[in-house]
Structure 1
Amino acid sequence: MKSQSDRNIRWGIIGLGNIANKFAQDLLTVDGCELYAVASRSQEKATDFAQQYQATQAYSSYEALVQDPNVDAVYIATPHSLHQENTLLCLQQGIAVLCEKPFAMNAVEVNSMISVAEEKKVLLMEAMWTYFLPHYQFVLKELANQTYGKLLKVEADFGFSCEFDERSRLFKKSLGGGSLLDIGIYPIFVALSTLGLPDSTTEKATFFDNGADSSCSMVFNYKNGATALLKSTLLASTPCEAIFHCERGTIKINREFHCPSSVTLINGADQQTLDFNCTSNGYSYEIAHFNELLRQGKTESDIMTFEFSRDLINTLDKVREAIGLQY
Structure 2
Amino acid sequence: MANSVGWGIIGLGNIAQKFAKDLALVHDAALMGVASRSLVKAKAFKEEFKVPYAFDNYEALLDCEEVEVVYIALPHTEHYEWSLKAMEKGKHVLCEKPAGINKAEVRQMVDASRKNKVFFMEALWSRFIPSIQEIKKSIDAGEAGEIVYLHADFAFFALDRNPDSRVLNPELGGGSLLDIGIYPVFLAYLILGMPDRIEAHAKFLESGTEVQTAVTFYYPGAHALLFSSLGTNSLMSATIGGTDGTFVIHPRWHEAEGFSLLSDGKQEEFEFPKVGKGYTYEIEEVHRCLSEERLESPLWSHQHSLDLIGLLDQIREITGIRFPFEG
1:72 aligns with 2:68: yes
Taking the TM superposition and a 5 Å limit, the aligned residue runs for 1:131-142 are 131-142=127-138
Q: What residue identity is the alignment partner of 2:213?
A: C
Q: What residue identity is the alignment partner of 1:9?
A: V
Separation (CA, whole Å) in 1 of partners of 2:174 and 2:105: 17
1:7 aligns with 2:3: yes
Residues 221 and 227 of structure 1 are in contact (CA less than 8 Å); yes or no, is this contact kept in structure 2? yes
Q: Please, what TM-score do these two structures have when normalized by structure 1?
A: 0.96
Partner of 1:283: 279
Separation (CA, whole Å) in 2 of partners of 1:259 and 1:149: 25
Separation (CA, whole Å) in 1 of partners of 2:210 and 2:122: 23
Residues 260 and 281 of structure 1 are in contact (CA less than 8 Å); yes or no, is this contact kept in structure 2? no
Q: What residue identity is the alignment partner of 2:253?
A: F
Partner of 1:144: 140
Write out per-residue CA displacement over residues 76-115 of structure 1, whole angstroms, 9 at most, x where no aligned residue.
Answer: 0000000000101100100000000000100111111111
TM superposition shift of 1:248? 2.1
RMSD (Å), alpha carbons: 1.0
Separation (CA, whole Å) in 1 of partners of 2:144 and 2:300: 26
Write out per-residue CA displacement over residues 264-300 of structure 1, whole angstroms, 9 at most, x where no aligned residue.
Answer: 1112431122121213100000001101211222111
Partner of 2:189: 192
- Give 1:311's match in structure 2, choosing from 270, 291, 307: 307
TM superposition shift of 1:261? 2.6
Taking the TM superposition and a 5 Å limit, the aligned residue runs for 1:54-93 are 54-93=50-89
Taking the TM superposition and a 5 Å limit, the aligned residue runs for 1:201-220 are 201-220=198-217
1:258 aligns with 2:245: no
Residues 135 and 276 of structure 1 are in contact (CA less than 8 Å); yes or no, is this contact kept in structure 2? yes
Separation (CA, whole Å) in 2 of partners of 1:195 and 1:248: 16
Partner of 2:163: 166
Partner of 1:3: none
Residues 34 and 45 of structure 2 are in contact (CA less than 8 Å); yes or no, is this contact kept in structure 1? yes
Separation (CA, whole Å) in 2 of partners of 1:260 and 1:7: 32
1:183 aligns with 2:180: yes
TM superposition shift of 1:242? 1.4
TM superposition shift of 1:308? 0.5
TM superposition shift of 1:230? 0.3
SS across alignment from 1:29: coil
Partner of 1:21: 17
Q: What residue identity is the alignment partner of 1:44?
A: V
1:119 aligns with 2:115: yes
Q: Which moved more, 1:23-32 or 1:296-305?
A: 296-305
SS across alignment from 1:146: coil
Runs of at least 4 residues off by over 6 Å: none
TM superposition shift of 1:164? 4.4
Q: What residue identity is the alignment partner of 1:74?
A: V
Residues 260 and 282 of structure 1 are in contact (CA less than 8 Å); yes or no, is this contact kept in structure 2? no
Q: What residue identity is the alignment partner of 2:44?
A: D
Q: What residue identity is the alignment partner of 2:279?
A: Y
Residues 249 and 256 of structure 2 are in contact (CA less than 8 Å); yes or no, is this contact kept in structure 1? no
Q: Which moved more, 1:35-44 or 1:154-163?
A: 154-163
Residues 250 and 256 of structure 2 are in contact (CA less than 8 Å); yes or no, is this contact kept in structure 1? no
Separation (CA, whole Å) in 2 of partners of 1:141 and 1:320: 31
SS across alignment from 1:102: coil
Partner of 2:90: 94
SS across alignment from 2:167: helix
Q: What residue identity is the alignment partner of 1:210?
A: S
Report how many residues are paired.
Answer: 321
Separation (CA, whole Å) in 2 of partners of 1:213 and 1:264: 33
1:48 aligns with 2:60: no
Write out per-residue CA displacement over residues 216-237 of structure 1, whole angstroms, 9 at most, x where no aligned residue.
Answer: 00000012x2110000011111
Partner of 1:292: 288
SS across alignment from 1:258: helix
Q: What residue identity is the alignment partner of 1:121?
A: K
Separation (CA, whole Å) in 2 of partners of 1:193 and 1:208: 31
SS across alignment from 1:19: helix
Q: Which moved more, 1:141-150 or 1:196-205?
A: 141-150
